[in-house]
Amino acid sequence: MPGKLKVKIVAGRHLPVMDRASDLTDAFVEVKFGNTTFKTDVYPKSLNPQWNSEWFKFEVDDEELQDEPLQITVLDHDTYSANDAIGKVYIDIDPLLYSEAATVISGWFPIYDTIHGIRGEINVVVKVDLFNDLNRFRQSSCGVKFFCTTSIPKCYRAVVIHGFVEELVVNEDPEYQWIDRIRTPRASNEARQRLISLMSGELQRKIGLKVLEMRGNAVVGYLQCFDLEGESGLVVRAIGTACTLDKLSNTSAFLPACNSPSKEMKEIPFNEDPNPNTYSSGPSTPLKNQTYSFSPSKSYSRQSSSSDTDLSLTPKTGMGSGSAGKEGGPFKTLLRQQTQSALEQREFPFFTLTTFPPGFLLHVGGVVSARSVKLLDRIHNPAFVGIMGNTRSYKLLDWNSFNSDEPETRDAWWAEIRQEIKSHAKALGCHAVVGYSESTSICEEVCILSASGTAAVLNPRFLQDGTMEGCLEQRIEEASPPGCGFCHIPYDELNMPFPAHLTYCYNCRKQKVPDVLFTTIDLPVEAIVVGKGCLIQARLCRLKKKAQAEANATSISNLLPFMEYEVHTQLMNKLKLRGMNALFGLRIQITVGENMLMGLASATGVYLAALPTPGGIQIAGKTPNDGTYEQHISHMQKKINDTIAKNKELYEINPPELPEEIIGSPIPEPRQRSRLLRSQSESSDEVTELDLSHGKKDAFVLEIDDTDAMEDVHSLLTDVPPPSGFYSCNTEIMPGINNWTPEIQMFTAVRVSRLSNINPTNQTLNKNFNDLCENLLKSLYFKLRSMVPCCLCHVNFTVALPEDELVQIAVTAVAITYDKNQALQANKAPTEKSQQRASTDNEEQLQFPLELSSDPLSSQPFSPAKEALEGASSHTGIPAAQRDRCNSWIELIKLKAQTIRRGSIKTTTSLEKASPLAEGYLRHRSVPSGTNSTVSVVKMTPLSFLPGAKITKYLGIINMFFIRETTSLREEGGVSGFLHAFIAEVFAMVRAHVAALGGNAVVSYIMKQCVFMENPNKNQAQCLINVSGDAVIFVRESELEVLPAPPPAAAAQPAGSAGDVTT
């Protein structure tokens, strides 16, 4: 019984009218956790009830604490009939389970009903008393921290990066249970929400256990997804990277941190096995039974899954042959062996991180990806996985077989894909895969599983006992220039896995680099880039015959290679057209629909100084001797050349001219190659490697001998560059811009369009799809025009095909303004940085007198109102004069706000006394500049950082799943009105949870799923949204510096309070 959960229901406000007669509501609250339920008294006849309940106490296992959500239901008491539900709040108490995060959850939560949306708010206080449980066989994993952020969180230091963790849980989807026919949509939605909440809790706990087994204490780059497989069930799966993190006790200084985790590691006896190639086959569950024992240079023992069918694919050349580089040969060899040894003992040497500590990433091979088409109705029958069988079996309510068989099958599917990825990485001479992610696309019973990542060679130091200092030394020894090292090829020049064109690095001129580089990771900080980057998308539609089961899966499998090929060609061409030579953050999404497949690849193109200047694009016609045709060709050619020139100017790509002789590399032939290794596999069928290079001919001679090719060329030229003042990228940071101002605007845009063609062809569909994406981008630029100059960062497109001819595109991104005056300089000189900082400071100082407010309750202890105001003044763009005019009555509003709040403070401050938060608040109030706003501002961003701010504390993961349904679609403003309101509600609920945790921002926010279904004839619609992110407290850098003596103490306070519990 190692935990006590305490809940207090304080008050409600703005409740809906439930009693038409009196226009009032008799509200009470049910608080449920696990199987225990408490109730408050009925607060009669009020829309703003003050329950001020006692503390409801739940004594529970920590396992339960991790799995179960706290469920708060607000009801209207009715003497004569059943009580009517007003709505619910689900609170994930996980953030309270690790000592460093939040200590109390307290605040106003929107009361949510799946049919009516938000109906008023409720003020709740939640606390957890945890007792230490030293039980070795425990099933809980309290204390393991989770981060969505795909880099080492800002106020932590990575001691060890252990590696890949994954898990999946399967259950039946309540929506498809027989009972769903007789229960109300509300009950069904709530059952689903609750189930998914439970499943994600369970999943997180299981992953946590794996992390503890690996002796880690955190999961970074945690990505949890749902597969709504309809009849066949509901899969919740997650991947992440296990790490041992150390809290930086002072966020501004690197103090020697306590290394207890790594010490523990060392205590484990080495398993001295002289033969490095001893494979002992272990159980198929990865990671669980491995021994984590290895030393940097010694041999190792390896246990791995028995399914190493791919070992034959291991490159035949010895890894450490040293032929890859003339420099530092023997050392490198050693290094490689170490890395290899460190990684190979892992079943999957994958990392979901996209940004790494300096020195972690040694070389990058290229993108590796694998896809597989599966039939969902086979899951029941593992023996017939794939499309071989002919029988179809629909699942009945067979819970046992369900629970026992399915995860196995799913595990096997993913294991298969991961094996493939691993073997691809090996073929590229890499031991590891970074920037790894997995996704699915489901249409009826067909499911495409995809995985992709970037093959890489890593520095072993981080993977083991992780003394950072040692690693830094090593980097110096190695003498690989930091700006280009990662571009150097990891594979053997003489035995290349694919035809490629190598030159000596344009930066160090010592090692070989490829001509283009595709990766799924973010641009490494140390990379030397010329000019700016830009968002590059390849878009593609392929028609497919409607078919059932096996036939369907086969035809999809057959189409996939062509799609990949075409997506790749498009990316290549578009990259060339922009005069760039590398892609970062590449994400290729293939979506399956009833009668078509869609491919959408997004990446950020950059010009890496280390890589050669890309050649142009040549057009060649196949029918010479035709005057007009020739003329047409030359016209097109000219257009292309013009575009390239224009783009070079736009993105400021002026690489320093290098005389050819200096490079002096033997340039065999002007052939351009890329590396994108991937495969399709259809069930267990063997993969045929597809050579993505264009046969014998030069890849960048486009032959336009048929209309198809003409279309391709045209579509190349239709991509409109963003309007002036705008840049866009899908990575965390925009290469070439580094002077961000603190103003950010995160948004989600969703569009559903009908591809209304009677006889659609691939070309018309392509064009439609292309237009749809371009228009969407245009629309975003227009919407955000007031923020210019700005950059859309982390632009994330997701495509779905909900029905025949319907395409749904959802985009989430953040617009960040930057300072134009300093935008020209791409150099990241520290002096300049400080200069920029100074300038932002000034700006903020200017705004200071206008400063409005921070809510004392709102736990924005140190970055009060400035925030609100900045947002305000910047978004508004109101001329200053007008602002002044407003001021006097803004004062009034503030006053009003204060009075409004005072009422609620009375009830809560006393409760909060114990928490550092409340202290922060009190302290803050004593500061005279402290002002008030009604609702605390919570920033949201898909990035892992906030420009101009320092994250001082991570409060825990936010992972929320909502269903909204309506049976009065027209009345709610049609599909757009319905979805608009729902997305706004989701944002509001995320913000409320973050604020209740004491945070003022969500970083690494992602909308993982947005499933929208409508039935206009029935006036109905339903939507499911799943979002996640990390709740944080941030402090404006300017505030840290500008404020004099006392505030720094206050500022250090959250860090300190968090730091003292570091284990």
Q: Find the shortest distance in angstroms from Cβ 749 to another protein.
A: 4
| Cβ atoms < 10 Å from Cβ of 830 | 7
The DSSP line for 864-911 is -THHHHHHHHHHH---HHHHHHHHHHHHHHHHHHHHHHHHHHHHHHHH
**Which one of 81, 132, 390, 756 is in contact with another protein (CB under 8 A)?**
756
Task: State how far the Cα of 2 lies from the Cα of 135, in Å rounded to an integer.
Answer: 11
When the beta carbons of 489 and 765 are compared against another protein, the nearer one is: 765
Task: State how far the Cα of 949 lies from the Cα of 939, in Å rounded to an integer.
Answer: 12
When the beta carbons of 436 and 1034 are compared against another protein, the nearer one is: 1034
**Which one of 723, 804, 829, 902 is in contact with another protein (CB under 8 A)?**
723
Site string for another protein, 801-840 (x = CB under 8 A): -----x-x--------------------------------
When the beta carbons of 98 and 987 are compared against another protein, the nearer one is: 987
Chain positions 114 to 143 lying near another protein, rule: CB under 8 A, are: 118, 121
Separation in Å, CA 895 to CA 112, 715, 838, 928: 30, 57, 33, 15
State the Cα torsion 704-705-707-713 to the nearest 10°. 0
Size of the site for another protein (CB under 8 A): 75
When the beta carbons of 126 and 128 are compared against another protein, the nearer one is: 126
When the beta carbons of 401 and 779 are compared against another protein, the nearer one is: 779
**949 interacts with another protein by CB under 8 A:** no
**484 interacts with another protein by CB under 8 A:** no
**13 interacts with another protein by CB under 8 A:** yes
When the beta carbons of 875 and 970 are compared against another protein, the nearer one is: 875
Q: Find the shortest distance in angstroms from Cβ 807 to another protein.
A: 9
Binding segment for another protein (CB under 8 A), chosen from 429-437, 556-564, 704-712, 766-774, is 766-774
When the beta carbons of 18 and 609 are compared against another protein, the nearer one is: 18
Give me 748's structure tokens.
Answer: 């989600």
Q: Which residue, among 499, 500, 521, 517, has the nearest Cα to 609 in the 3D structure?
A: 517
**413 interacts with another protein by CB under 8 A:** no
Report the half-sphere exposure of 123 (CA within 13 A, side-chain side). Answer: 23
> Where are the strands (E) in 568-705, listed by range?
582-592, 596-608, 618-620, 676-682, 701-703
**873 interacts with another protein by CB under 8 A:** yes
When the beta carbons of 226 and 978 are compared against another protein, the nearer one is: 978
**Which one of 250, 281, 631, 876 is in contact with another protein (CB under 8 A)?**
876
Q: Which residue, among 557, 543, 615, 573, has the nearest Cα to 769 in the 3D structure?
A: 543
Residue 489 sits at the vertex; the CA angle it makes with 483 and 491, to the nearest 5 degrees, is: 155
Q: Find the shortest distance in angstroms from Cβ 946 to another protein.
A: 12
Contact in structure between 324 and 513 (CB atoms under 8 Å) = no
The three-state secondary structure class of 646 is helix
Site string for another protein, 77-116 (x = CB under 8 A): -------------------------------x-x------
Residue 551 sits at the vertex; the CA angle it makes with 547 and 554, to the nearest 5 degrees, is: 120
**996 interacts with another protein by CB under 8 A:** no
Find residue 126's DSSP bridge partners: 7, 105
When the beta carbons of 167 and 867 are compared against another protein, the nearer one is: 867
The three-state secondary structure class of 427 is helix
Task: State how far the Cα of 853 lies from the Cα of 781, in Å rounded to an integer.
Answer: 31
**991 interacts with another protein by CB under 8 A:** yes
* All residues at 6 or more sequence positions from 514 whose CB lies less than 8 Å from its CB, including other chains: 366, 487, 489, 500, 501, 502, 611, 673, 674, 675
Chain positions 1001 to 1030 lying near another protein, rule: CB under 8 A, are: 1012
**Which one of 872, 1003, 1027, 1040 is in contact with another protein (CB under 8 A)?**
872
Alpha helical stretches, state H, 756-829: 762-783
Q: Find the shortest distance in angstroms from Cβ 1010 to another protein.
A: 11
**988 interacts with another protein by CB under 8 A:** yes
When the beta carbons of 975 and 1050 are compared against another protein, the nearer one is: 975
Q: Find the shortest distance in angstroms from Cβ 764 to another protein.
A: 10
Chain positions 220 to 279 lying near another protein, rule: CB under 8 A, are: none
Contact in structure between 322 and 329 (CB atoms under 8 Å) = yes
**727 interacts with another protein by CB under 8 A:** no
**886 interacts with another protein by CB under 8 A:** yes
Chain positions 521 to 540 lying near another protein, rule: CB under 8 A, are: none
Rg of the chain, C-alpha, whole Å: 29
Q: Find the shortest distance in angstroms from Cβ 752 to another protein.
A: 4
Site string for another protein, 898-937 (x = CB under 8 A): --x--------------------------------xxx-x
**Which one of 83, 295, 323, 753 is in contact with another protein (CB under 8 A)?**
753
Q: Find the shortest distance in angstroms from Cβ 199 to another protein.
A: 27
**975 interacts with another protein by CB under 8 A:** yes
**Which one of 714, 883, 907, 1062 is in contact with another protein (CB under 8 A)?**
883
**970 interacts with another protein by CB under 8 A:** no
**Which one of 23, 889, 906, 971 is in contact with another protein (CB under 8 A)?**
889
Q: Which residue, among 977, 598, 975, has the nearest Cα to 797 in the 3D structure?
A: 598
Q: Find the shortest distance in angstroms from Cβ 826 to another protein.
A: 27
**761 interacts with another protein by CB under 8 A:** no
**778 interacts with another protein by CB under 8 A:** yes
**509 interacts with another protein by CB under 8 A:** no
> Where are the strands (E) in 931-1059, listed by range?
939-940, 949-966, 1001-1015, 1020-1036
Binding segment for another protein (CB under 8 A), chosen from 25-33, 526-534, 747-755, 911-919, is 747-755
Chain positions 838 to 857 lying near another protein, rule: CB under 8 A, are: 852-853
When the beta carbons of 540 and 988 are compared against another protein, the nearer one is: 988
Interhelix angle 707-718/627-650, rounded to 10 degrees, is: 30
When the beta carbons of 641 and 1009 are compared against another protein, the nearer one is: 1009
The three-state secondary structure class of 415 is helix
**Which one of 392, 546, 622, 754 is in contact with another protein (CB under 8 A)?**
754
Chain positions 442 to 461 lying near another protein, rule: CB under 8 A, are: none
Q: Find the shortest distance in angstroms from Cβ 111 to another protein.
A: 10
Task: State how far the Cα of 711 lies from the Cα of 725, in Å rounded to an integer.
Answer: 30
When the beta carbons of 7 and 938 are compared against another protein, the nearer one is: 938
When the beta carbons of 624 and 849 are compared against another protein, the nearer one is: 849
Separation in Å, CA 31 to CA 55, 69, 196, 267, 905: 11, 11, 19, 46, 22
Buried residues in 191-202 as b, exposed as e (16+ CB within 10 A): bbbbbbbbbbbb
State the Cα torsion 854-859-860-862 to the nearest 10°. 110
**Burial (CB count <10 Å: 0-12, 13-18, 19+), residue 962:** buried
**780 interacts with another protein by CB under 8 A:** yes
